[in-house]
Structure 1
Amino acid sequence: MDGGPPRELISLADDEGNSVTVRVLGRNPRWAAGLDAEIVVKTPFVSGRIDLALYLLRLKSWADALDRLEAGEDVAWMAMSRGPSISIQLTGERGCPEVVVEDESGSMVTVRVPIVPPDDWIADHRRRLRQVMDHWVPMLSG
Structure 2
Amino acid sequence: MSPFELVRLTDSENEVRITVNSLEDSDFWEAEIAVTSLFVKGSTLLMLSRAKVESWRQALESLQLGHDIIWMRTDRGPTVSVHLDGERDCPDIVVEDESISMVTVRIPIALEEGWIADHQARVNQFIKQI
Shared fold, TM over 0.5: yes
Q: What are the equivalent positions in structure 2 for 1:79-118 lying under 5 Å apart?
A: 79-118=73-112
1:9 equivalenced with 2:6 (yes/no): yes
**Cα separation, 2, equivalents of 1:103 and 1:27:** 24
Query: Greater CA radius of gyration, 1 or 2?
Result: 1
Query: Which residues of structure 1 form unaligned runs of 5+?
Result: 137-142
- List per-residue Cα deviations over 1:4-49 (Å, max 9, x = no partner): 656110000002x200000000158xxx410000101010110000
Contact 1:69/1:75 (CA < 8 Å) preserved in 2?
yes
Conserved 8 A contact 2:2-2:23: no
CA RMSD of aligned residues (A): 1.7
Match of 1:51 among 45, 54, 57: 45
CA offsets, 1:46-73, max 9 Å, x none?
0000101011000000011000000000
What percent identity do the matched residue pairs reach? 44
After TM superposition, the runs of 4+ consecutive aligned structure 1 residues lying more than 4 A away are: none
Asked if 2 retains the 8 angstrom alpha-carbon contact of 1:6 and 1:135, the reply is no
Query: What are structure 2's unaligned runs of at least 5 residues?
Result: none
CA distance in 2, matches of 1:81, 1:57: 16
Looking at structure 1, the residues matched to 110 and 90 of structure 2 have their Cα atoms a distance apart, in angstroms, of: 6
Q: TM-score, normalised by structure 1?
A: 0.86
Query: Which residue identity lines up with residue 35 of structure 2 in the other structure?
Result: V
Please tell me whether residue 73 in structure 1 is matched to residue 67 in structure 2. yes
